[in-house]
Amino acid sequence: MEFNTSRDAIKYLTENNLEDIPVSLELHLNKKPKIEVWYGTFEFGRFNIGTDYFDMCVINAIDEKTLLENDSEIIENYMLDNSYESWFIPSECSNFEIVYSDQYVRDNNL
């Protein structure tokens, strides 16, 4: 159900006697925050351009982007269960460059 305003939502709760139902946040307090995880084919390494070196992630293919708990075991198990080659967390890439391979660009018409 979608409401246009909070007033509509309150009206719905009141009309259906739902305002006295207790809400528990306990289940959510023990969960880790979710992060975006990419699954696909990636290459990680230190690449040199001339005399300069750059830590990079080369993206060859992205098969799926999903939100998961920030837990390496959950992330790894999801990869294995879905037969993905590797995984990558973009929010943790502040120390290196992200580049897309020529094939990825051709395949995705970027």
Question: What gap in Å lies between CA 18 and CA 109, rounded to an integer?
Answer: 49
In a domain, residue 84? The reply is: yes
> What pTM value is reported for the model?
0.65
Structural domains counted in the chain: 1
In a domain, residue 54? The reply is: yes
In a domain, residue 12? The reply is: no
Provide the β-strand partners of residue 66: 37
Cα 69 vs. chain centroid, distance in angstroms? 9
In a domain, residue 24? The reply is: no
Question: What gap in Å lies between CA 66 and CA 41, rounded to an integer?
Answer: 15
Hey, how many other C-beta atoms are within 10 angstroms of the C-beta on 13?
13
In a domain, residue 15? The reply is: no
Domain that holds residue 42: 31-108
In a domain, residue 2? The reply is: no
In a domain, residue 7? The reply is: no
pLDDT of res. 27: 59
Question: What gap in Å lies between CA 109 and CA 103, rounded to an integer?
Answer: 10
For residue 110, pLDDT over 60 is answered with no
Q: How confident is the model at residue 8 (pLDDT cuts 50, 70, 90)?
A: confident
